[in-house]
Amino acid sequence: MLSPKMEAALNNQINAEYYSSYLYLSMAAYFDSINLPGFANWMRIQNQEEMLHTMKFFDFVSERNGRVKLAAIDGPETEWESPLAAFEATLAHEQHVTALINKLVDLALAESDHATNNFLQWFVAEQVEEEATADGILQQLRLMKDAPGGLFMMDRELGQRVFTPPADA
């Protein structure tokens, strides 16, 4: 059973995960608008991953006899100065999500809610991967600067990404 404080915090995280999904879909639209379909594909896959995260939280709250309470989702940005700026925003957003997950872990530990702490460990590991992936793409964009050939090659590479749900999803 979830405490009211933990239930509220998890509901806030559900909203944050929906926002993440919405943000990445907005980035996909941005990349489509500047004719970078591979980058757009990468962001669409991010959107799918965030929806999976949302549903993991949604299902967990329900399984713990909590009540999911959906709230309005803030509108995300819709324009970025460049692909580099979009990935700087991506990394900053993932770092923000990591901080949110860490606060949930802190709350679970403070409340001796071992089931929630155990559940959250998947997200702790996931955020390490999310930040590393975003940072890797960002570093490549910084290295290529404004080289159109590099951007074209990267667009083709990012277009190869496919959504593969984790085995434990």
Domains in the chain, please, with CATH? 4-158 (1.20.1260.10)
With cut-offs at 50, 70 and 90, classify the pLDDT of residue 146. confident
Packing angle, helices 114-144 and 37-63, rounded to 10: 170
Tell me the pLDDT band of 166, cut-offs 50, 70 and 90. Answer: confident
Nearest of 37, 27, 33, 44 to residue 151 by alpha carbon:
37
> What sign does the dihedral 27-28-33-35 (CA atoms) show?
positive
pLDDT beyond 90 at 145:
no
Using CA atoms, how far residue 126 sits from 35, 50, 64, 129, 168, in Å, is 30, 11, 22, 5, 12
User: Alpha-carbon distance 29 to 44, whole Å?
Assistant: 9
pLDDT in tens, 19-31: 999 999 999 999 9
> What pLDDT, in 10s, does the model give residues 60-78?
999 999 999 999 999 999 9
* pTM score, whole prediction: 0.95
Distance from C-alpha of 45 to C-alpha of 32, rounded to nearest angstrom = 14
Q: What are the pLDDT digits (tens) for 10-58?
A: 999 999 999 999 999 999 999 999 999 999 999 999 999 999 999 999 9
83-110 vs 4-33: helix crossing angle, rounded to 10 = 170
pLDDT over 80 at 103, yes or no: yes
Q: How confident is the model at residue 169 (pLDDT cuts 50, 70, 90)?
A: low
Contact 88, 44 (CB under 8 A): no
